[in-house]
């Protein structure tokens, strides 16, 4: 008798670094600053693991390219909006990804304290 296996698979890309002009303050609109993005996407990886064929999975380079297009494309006042746009674009583009976890960090945010970085983290699930 075969034991059923519960699966929770994910792909991830961490510490993607970009320069962009997101921010609510005037100086943030004029001068690019660094943004760091972490991405995780849950999907069923067994077919690609069994076939050993890149065509049966979501390619990391394509996901990273999609994220780059969002971060370096349109300008947003809030990193909350940026994170939401990343999540929406990935879910729209890659049908195999069921959930996304996006973290956007802003190391040089304008805050009145000495901080390493600030950021937002969102989790989104594909509508069934």
Active site residues: 106
CA distance 91 to 88: 5
Residues 6+ apart with CB under 8 A from 26: none
Give the β-pairing of 99-106 and 118-125: antiparallel
């Amino acid at each position: 008798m075969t034991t059923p296996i519960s699966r929770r698979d994910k792909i991830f890309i961490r510490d993607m670094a970009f320069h962009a002009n997101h921010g609510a303050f005037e100086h943030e609109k004029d001068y690019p600053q660094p943004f760091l993005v972490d991405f995780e996407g849950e999907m069923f990886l067994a077919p690609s693991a069994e076939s050993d064929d890149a065509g049966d999975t979501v390619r990391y380079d394509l996901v990273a390219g999609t994220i780059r297009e969002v971060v370096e494309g349109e300008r947003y006042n809030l990193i909350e909006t940026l994170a939401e746009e990343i999540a929406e674009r990935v879910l729209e583009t890659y049908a195999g990804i069921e959930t996304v976890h996006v973290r956007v960090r802003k190391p040089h945010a304008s805050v009145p304290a000495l901080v390493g970085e600030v950021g937002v983290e969102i989790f989104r699930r594909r509508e069934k």
